[in-house]
Amino acid sequence: MADFSDILNDARWLPHGFDPQNRAVTFIRLDRDRLSAPAFLADAVPGEGTQPVAIPLADIAAANIPQSPLHFVFHTAFCRSTLMTRALQLPGTCAALSEPGILAKIGGSSPDVLPQILRLLGRGWGEGESVFVKPTNHANALIPAIMEARPDARAVLMTNPLPSFLSAVTRKGMMGRRWARQLYLEVMGYAGMDLGMDGAEQFAMTDLQCAALAWFLNQRYWDALSRKYGDRVRILDGDHFGAEPASVLSGFGAFAGVAIDADRAQDIANGPVFTADAKTGEDYAAKAARDAAATQSAVVDEEIAKVGEWIGMIAKQVGITVPVKSTLV
């Protein structure tokens, strides 16, 4: 059997792909500074001078892989979760992995695959450091399995108010609206409910109605997860994080058991992470102003308000308050 210990013991070798037929994980090597880059890790390419390496899952399962405290940031999209992972790049304290592609690629795999992937993601990037993983929201169906596989893990469930979510969908243009329809179908698959609409009625919904229902189903899912996992889970309003980053980061540190006290949290909030757009690296204020100018209109604002009233009626019938209450701070 080949000796893969140098790769399996080194967090810089990121699990990046999975071959279900050959039951092998593909690794790419990344320097730590890649974790701070704007692009998601799903889009990462091997570091200079290195090539991907495939390792059989059986070899991974048999290996003694060093582990660090592993926690998660799950999200409903467009709620500053990427900004959170950038704020958690704190050498000596913790590292954060923003949307490693592997978790989206193992959906539907046999149950023995996920625990091994989590062992790989749980390797520390420095002595005494914790690891935070923010999966894509398209992997949210895996949350219960992740929480069961890692009973020591804690999770922050990020979301935001419906108007903020719908405004973000609108800013993405035609592809954003198409994405919202796909998200509705996806979430109905693992967190759905009987909405009392037949196929024709669902087809007739506007794009923002589909987006709003996806958001609502996610709120209901977050509520169920928080009830199931109790003290292991906290809910965070991403808009509140944007407005009060220092208090949120301090609360995050206390919840996850990492050294982010009030003074350090304020230093992070005053630093360069909060002046650049988390996904593109552009100046945040300039990008926000450009997005608003390109997408805001009285017509869209009216539609968002009407859709919000409609979701409010559905929530009242179901008996839940939306958005779900923030419990982290």
- Bridge partners (DSSP) of residue 104 are none
Q: Which residues of the chain have pLDDT under 50?
A: none
Residue matched to tokens 């693992």? 190
Q: What is the pLDDT of residues 243-290, one digit of tens each?
A: 999 999 999 999 999 999 999 999 999 999 998 887 888 887 888 788
Q: What is the pLDDT of residues 138-183, one digit of tens each?
A: 999 999 999 999 999 999 999 999 999 999 999 999 999 999 999 9
User: Taking Cα atoms as reference points, which of 113, 123, 122, 4 lies closest to residue 55?
Assistant: 4
What is the phi/psi pair of residue 97, to 5°? -105, 115
Q: Is the CB of residue 329 less than 8 Å from the CB of residue 248?
A: yes
**What are the tokens at 291?**
């997005």
Domains, the chain, ranges and CATH? 68-318 (3.40.50)
Question: pTM value?
Answer: 0.96
> What pLDDT shows up at residue 1?
54
> What pLDDT shows up at residue 2?
72
